[in-house]
Structure 1
Amino acid sequence: MQNKNSNWDNKQFLESSEIAGYFYNVPIMDGMSGSRIVHNGKETINFAGINVLGLQEDKKFIDMFCENARQYGLATGGSRMTQGVCRPHVLLEQKMSQIFASEYTLTFGSGALANLGFVNGMTAFFAFDDNNKIDNRDVVFVLDRDCHWSLWNPVSKLKYGSQVYAFKHNNPESLEQVLSKIKSHKIIVVFETVYSCDGSVAPIAQLLDVCERYGVLSYVDDANGFMIYGTPNRPFYEDYQALSKATFIMVSFSKAIGIEGGAISGPEGFVKSLEILSGTSLFTATMQPPTAATNLEIINYLQDNPQIIDNYLKRCLQLREILIERNFKINSTPSYINSIFIGSDEVAEQVRREFLEMGYCVPVFRYPAIKRNQAVIRLMLNNQHTASDVNGFIIALEKMRSRYNF
């Protein structure tokens, strides 16, 4: 009898990927994820976490999560369209609509589910009956070529050069050139505010000006910038002021807020219809109720205590200045994300392993996250890292550079 697995290449793919260093046994964490994590009983200084302020470790927010868990339980118990929506979700959605001066906000289980659901919903061909139907199969998406996987993946079902186009990264002139050649009445331009691989920040105002000139919709992924930027005393303020001109704004609550979940804010007619059309709202539950409640509490807390992020950004800039002084090749944009160029994918994997042996969990971005042999160490400082943590990492980084010449 033929082995039922013989026609599948997964095992061979896994084994060869492990040998090449593309895939490895993921370390098991015991305890919280924060500035430090415990891997299989060994404490490691963590530079790979994305909850940059470390508020998920704060006792008052843990207590609040537990209080809401006792009131609302650990799960929604179903999708919002089948049994209703919990009050913490409604309050969080109202807060997001207030922040962005939007008509309506819909929350999702994650930022990635929000992105996937948006593309699903905006390309929908669906009918309840002959009188209640929608057909958006003719929509055209124009993406920044460096957009996240969660944006490129759902548009991959559409024909490139017909329904999907790309413009050069953070280049308004390129966007205008692309739009000038498209003959369609349904166009959505998609870009991010802060790009996690290279730390670059979009020229938000210029890109949205182009969108307005061509009368197209805009979808801005603010997963990495939400609550970090946008106030007058912080970098990129002028561009962030222009966010009010975006048709849709998506946020992730896993970065500055440090918990989980995502949301899309925008015109009610569009966003509310995503409850049905996205699929990632109708056919799955959203974030846990205590998660929604804690997200809202942390948003309010950060608004009442802006010095937390102000001081955090100062620390990030200090780290950047140290890296520049020591002649590391880093991204040109002075955002809170510092990407140290390595180059070779093979070298990058070796660097990751050796850092782990030295007690540092370091995020190495390589293909397929970015182009081949353009690997970087993507640093997002955790606000709970001590000066000793940072100094020790810099010393280890210099030793690694001497060994591998990057």
Structure 2
Amino acid sequence: MTASSTSAQSVDRLAPWAFAAFVEANTHDTAYRPPVVDGPVGPTIVRNGRELVNFASISFLDLDRHVPARRHFAEAAIAHGLSTSGSRMTQGICRPHQVLEETIARHTGKERAISFATGLLANIGFVHAMSSSAYFDTGIEVRNRDTVFVVDRDVHWSIWKGLEGLGYGRNVHAFRHNDVADLAAILGRIQSRKTVVIAESIYSADGTMGPIVEILDECDRHGAVSMIDDANGFMVYGAENRPYAREAVAIRERADFVMVSLSKAIGLEGGAIAGPAAAIDAFELLSGTSMFTAAIQPPTAYLADRTIDVLADHPEIVDDYLAHAARLRRQMHAIGTMTTPTESYMLSVPIGADAAALQMREWFVEDGYLVPVFSYPAVSRNQALLRLFPHAGHTEAQMDGFLRTLLIYRRRLGL
């Protein structure tokens, strides 16, 4: 049987799924073949042979200027290899994982941390561990399918994925985005000893900051366990001179669990959940996303630990970046381009019509800029926005060019 005949049979068998019709009909941003990137990603990016000024990179601190990353990675690759070669349960963890987890626990103010290959797996694993029912042997069992989750409706897809099948309206409730009164009303109606509230410190879609102190107050008032997804805030906020300092202290001192990502300020890959030691120990078995898959590469864990220490020892790296992002925000406001009202380094520009935002994205690429657009289904229909990550390596000329270009597009579209 030839490859073409096998492919034809596969197409026939897959016909009920309507994939081909979906792709053919789709003119939206929900299905496409991603552009190919050459070389490292930084303040600029080379896609399909074209260099673009990059406002899409979630690794935004330009850490190559401060951390000998390639040398650290190479040293760890020689000392520890490139892979764990198995799951945590079958092979154990490498020394760099242990050291990294201890470092994360220390910086989040928690007793222990467990690392995962990605932040997405950390979130899914947390929900699964908190709602598992499992029997291993007499006395070695958990019965937690009755856990009730109350989440901000805008939490990351990975949280919603973990909650699938748990029964919306019964074991899963959502409160209006950043609405503490709505959270309080829901918690007041729930009669459960096992309630978990999940919110984010900084929301990826629009850059808004969660009212963490007030959320934790409600958790205390109603006896609920708290979990804060701090993927976008880890190692960025916390110092007294920075935005969000009060909330960052509350996450450290009051939240029961915190999730951190290594793909944002740390500029690598991976994630972790930190919290009480007994719970984290149980997560080894109950999360599933640590037991049944490989961990972060050992050299990545080694480099992540050193990067965290560099950011802790040299706060000026983040201070300078936050000033850089704040300056761009002020400049955007000065030309009449409003952003989501928050002090986050993520700059979200409401556009409205999906078609207008997608048109702007194409124009930006034509003029040499990579600017992410969030449109339906990432946000509600015709509530599209530009979501910018200023990069620490962006020059003033690059920023000024972007501002001039954005102003031209807004005038062209009558925004």
Fold match (TM-score > 0.5): yes
Given candidates 5, 25, 28, the residue that maps to 2:14 is 5
Q: CA deviation at 1:357?
A: 1.3
Percent sequence identity is 44
Q: Deviations over 1:33-65 (max 9, x none)?
A: 111111122111111110010225767111111
- Show the counterpart of 1:157: 165
| Letter of the 2:406 counterpart | L
The residue that corresponds to 2:176 in the other structure is 168
Matched, 1:26 2:40: no
1:80 paired residue among 88, 107, 119? 88
Q: Indicate yes or no: 2:383 matched with 1:367.
A: no
Tell me the equivalent position of 1:265: 274
Structure 2 residue aligned with 1:296, among 285, 288, 305?
A: 305
RMSD: 1.4
2:29 and 2:39 map into 1 onto residues whose CA distance is 27
Counterpart Cα distance in 1 of 2:243 and 2:139: 50
Please give the per-residue CA displacement for 1:368-404, whole angstroms capped at 9, x wherever unaligned: 1111111111011110111111111111111111122
Correspondence for 1:274 among 283, 289, 310 = 283
- Distance in 1, Cα, partners of 2:245 & 2:16: 55
Matched, 1:240 2:248: yes
Match of 1:210 among 218, 222, 236: 218
Which one-letter code corresponds to 2:179 in the other structure? N
Q: Residue 232 of structure 2 aligns to a residue in which SS?
A: coil
Q: Secondary structure at the match of 2:15?
A: coil
2:238 maps to: 230
Match of 2:295 in 1: 286
Following TM superposition, by how much is the alpha carbon of 1:21 offset from its aligned partner in structure 2, in angstroms?
4.2
Q: SS where residue 68 of structure 2 aligns?
A: helix
| Within-5 A mapping of 1:62-77 | 62-77=70-85
Q: Give yes or no for contact 1:34–1:57 (8 Å, CA) kept in 2.
A: no
Contact conserved, 2:206 with 2:340, CA < 8 A, in 1?
A: yes
Structure 2 residue corresponding to 1:323, chosen from 326, 332, 351: 332
Q: Does 1:89 align with 2:97?
A: yes
Supply the distance in 2 between the matched residues of 1:86 and 1:20 (Cα, whole angstroms): 44
Distance of 2:302 and 2:137 partners within structure 1: 37
The structural deviation recorded for 1:356 is 1.0
Where 2:161 maps in the other structure, the secondary structure is: helix
For the 8 Å contact 1:56–1:258, the answer to whether it is kept is no
TM-score, normalising length from structure 1?
Answer: 0.97
- Separation in 2 of the partners of 1:63 and 1:405? 50
Q: What SS is found at the alignment partner of 1:260?
A: coil
- Cα separation, 2, equivalents of 1:339 and 1:53: 18
1:7 alignment partner, SS class: helix
In structure 2, distance between residues paired with 1:283 and 1:174: 37
- In the aligned structure 2, how far is the partner of 1:302 from the partner of 1:6? 52
CA distance in 2, matches of 1:205, 1:376: 28
Deviations 1:230-267 (A, max 9, x none): 01111111121111111100000111111111011001
Q: Distance in 2 between matches of 1:218 and 1:59?
A: 34
Farther-moved stretch of structure 1 (124-133 vs 261-270): 124-133
- Partner residue, 1:48: 56
Deviation at 1:173, TM superposition (A): 1.5
Distance 1:20 1:87 in 2: 46
Asked whether the equivalents of residues 112 and 275 of structure 2 are also in contact (C-alpha less than 8 Å), the reply is yes
Deviations 1:148-171 (A, max 9, x none): 111112112111111001112112
SS in 2 for 1:272: helix
- Secondary structure, in 3 states, of the residue corresponding to 2:328? helix
Deviation at 1:196, TM superposition (A): 1.7
Distance 2:324 2:294 in 1: 38
Q: Which of 190, 200, 214 is the equivalent residue of 1:192?
A: 200
Q: Aligned residue for 1:386?
A: 395
Question: Which deviates the most, 54-63 or 21-30?
Answer: 54-63
2:142 maps to a residue whose letter is I
Deviations 1:124-161 (A, max 9, x none): 11111233111110000000111111111211211111
Q: In 2, Cα distance between the equivalents of 1:127 and 1:141?
A: 22
Question: 1:192, CA displacement in angstroms?
Answer: 0.2
- TM-score, normalised by the number of residues in structure 2: 0.95
Q: Is this contact kept in 2: 1:219–1:246, CA < 8 A?
A: yes
Number of equivalent positions = 405
Q: Residue type matched to 1:138 in 2?
A: D
Q: Is the 8 A contact 2:197 2:226 kept in 1?
A: yes
Residue 316 of structure 2: aligned partner? 307
Q: Report which stretch shifted further, 75-84 or 50-59.
A: 50-59
Deviation digits for residues 319-370 of structure 1, max 9, x if unmatched? 1111111111310112111101111112211111111111111111111111
In structure 2, what is the Cα distance between the partners aligned to 1:240 and 1:365? 27
Match for residue 131 of structure 1?
A: 139
Q: Secondary structure at the match of 1:143?
A: strand
CA distance in 2, matches of 1:22, 1:292: 33
CA contact (8 A) 2:84 2:91 kept: no
Structure 2, unmatched stretches of 5+, are: 1-8
Q: Structure 2 vs 1, CA of residues 235 and 205 (structure 1 numbering), >3 Å: closer, same or farther?
A: same
Work out whether residues 73 and 289 of structure 1, in 8 Å CA contact, stay in contact via their aligned partners in 2: yes
Are the aligned partners of 2:67 and 2:307 in contact in 1 as well (CA < 8 Å)?
A: no
For structure 1, the residue ranges without an aligned partner over 5 or more in a row are none
Measured against aligned partners, the alpha-carbon deviations of 1:96-126 in whole angstroms (never above 9, x if no partner) come to: 1111221110000111110011111111111
Look up the match of 2:112: 104
Contact 1:32 1:57 survives alignment (8 Å): no
